[in-house]
Amino acid sequence: MTSPKSPAANPNVTPDPQTDGSTIRKAFLAEAIANLCTIPLITNTSWVLSLILNHPSDINPSSILFARLFGGLVVGGLTSALLVGYTNTRNGVESRRPTYLLLGVGEALLIPILVNEMLKDGGRDAAVSKKVAGISIGMLLPPLLWRIYVLGVRPDLLGKYTEKKSADRGVDYGSIR
């Protein structure tokens, strides 16, 4: 009979040599580093908004606050989830699938919003130019397709591990399905 596992515990595990998740770990680390480029959105918000907004004269305290909140979510929330998934601990390996699902859902929701902005063709009611919207879609689509591929076609890339148990309890194999 197996005992309940607590997410607070992070016992020693050994990555499965066949599916150690090294590809995903590299992707997680690269994306976490890329997310750090969002820091200027928090620290120099008005300047960043002036570069991406169609009408920089519309920048106001509310737009600055929401841009900072968005930057904080990216840097504080998404980046930390990626860094946890980068680790080859039990919690790290087990967090990879939900992290990719979370990021993929976010991208899947942002892309139609940006398509809607593109359809405004840079008019007065467009928040960003057609070019900015298109570049943003171009930056979101490849990671979304990669996540769909990993989650739907190659979940083995997420990695597996063997949990080290005491001598009388044997070995427990962890897997991402």
Residue type, 110: L
Residue-wise pLDDT tens digits, 94-141: 999 999 999 999 999 999 999 999 999 988 899 999 999 999 999 999
Judged by average pLDDT, the poorest of 40-49, 68-77, 123-132, 140-149 is 123-132
Q: What's this model's pTM, rounded to 2 decimal places?
A: 0.82
Boundaries of domain holding 50: 19-156
Q: Is residue 94 part of a domain?
A: yes
Judged by average pLDDT, the poorest of 13-22, 29-38, 56-65, 104-113 is 13-22
How high is the pLDDT of residue 168? 53
Q: Is residue 39 part of a domain?
A: yes
Burial class (CB in 10 A: 0-12, 13-18, 19+), 91: middle
Q: Is residue 147 part of a domain?
A: yes
Burial class (CB in 10 A: 0-12, 13-18, 19+), 79: buried
In the chain, alpha helices (H): 22-35, 39-43, 45-52, 61-72, 79-86, 90-119, 130-148
Q: Is residue 55 part of a domain?
A: yes
Task: State the Rg of the chain over Cα.
Answer: 20
Q: How many domains does the chain have?
A: 1
Cβ contact 87:161 at 8 Å: no
Higher pLDDT, 60 or 161: 60
Mean pLDDT, all residues of the chain? 89
Q: Is residue 83 part of a domain?
A: yes
Residue type, 104: G
Q: Is residue 172 part of a domain?
A: no
Q: Is residue 93 part of a domain?
A: yes
